[in-house]
Amino acid sequence: MSRVFSLLSLARKGLQNRQHPRFAELGVLLAVSNLVIATTTSLPAFFLGLLALEIAFNLLSARLQARVSDMAPTFAGQWLVATMLLGAAVGPAVHGAALAMDADAAFMLFAMVSALLPIGLLAARKAQA
């Protein structure tokens, strides 16, 4: 239960500072809240983990879209919406396939790693500059 409260505290910190996107903190919050939701047996911990997941996902998504639009306006204008729609269309099918193959742990690991991808993308961008 204390893990969930620390997750919510981290989410609150992410809300306070809009000048620095804090991709690392939000990515970790998203990854850990995924883990909490998947492994908890407590109903309050599940709902608090779900709340942390929603806060982290929405903040990370909005900030990543804004950063992509700032870094590459031409790409963002042409491909950002298509990329999001493709992810929304393919995600449930991949999840269903993972469940059918009894690969729920692998899917959870994939979800946690993909939550941390924005950190790597920004690090690569800084290395190019």
Q: Specify the number of domains making up the chain.
A: 1
Q: What is the pLDDT of residue 17?
A: 54
The pTM assigned to this predicted structure is 0.68
Based on C-alpha coordinates, what's the Rg of the chain? Answer: 16
Q: Rounded distance, CA 67 to CA 71, Å?
A: 6
Domain region containing 90: 2-128
pLDDT tens sequence across 63-92? 888 877 887 788 777 787 888 788 888 888
Percent of the chain with pLDDT over 90: 7
